[in-house]
Amino acid sequence: MMIFVYVIIGVVIGYFVFGGSMNKNAKKNEVLEILDEKDKKILALIEEKEKVTNNDIEKLLGIADSTATKYLQQLEDKGKIIQRGKTGKYTYYEKVSK
């Protein structure tokens, strides 16, 4: 009887520990798929130029360097673009070819 109680407690704890985090990740992935206006503008520029730099995005949206980096990283996380080069002036972004 005690083993049965321990199994039930383990299942309940496992559900809350692992089940809750999986649901949060699923919701996060749904949010990542939503493209807002800035994302659409960035992707349109990439379609037009094929390759864009952080500076191109700064000029397009009138934003700071760090903000442009953040927006590009978000699009990369969404699987829409890919970064070529690690850092510096030779780094650019392209649309992911599917």
Give 9-29 pLDDT, tens digit per residue.
777 776 766 665 545 555 445
Spatial separation of the C-alpha atoms in residues 74 and 76, rounded to whole Å: 5
The helix/strand/coil state of 2 is: helix
Judge if 28 and 7 occupy the same domain. yes
First-residue to last-residue Cα distance in the chain: 56
Judge if 41 and 86 occupy the same domain. yes
User: Would you state the pLDDT for residue 41?
Assistant: 95
Q: Which domain holds residue 29?
A: 1-34
Judge if 10 and 42 occupy the same domain. no
Judge if 21 and 45 occupy the same domain. no
Judge if 76 and 63 occupy the same domain. yes
Judge if 24 and 64 occupy the same domain. no
Judge if 30 and 42 occupy the same domain. no
Judge if 17 and 46 occupy the same domain. no
Would you place residue 35 in the very low, low, confident or very high pLDDT band (cuts 50, 70, 90)?
Answer: confident
Q: If you average pLDDT over every residue of the chain, what do you get?
A: 82
Q: For residue 35, give Cα distances in angstroms to 10, 19, 45.
A: 40, 27, 15
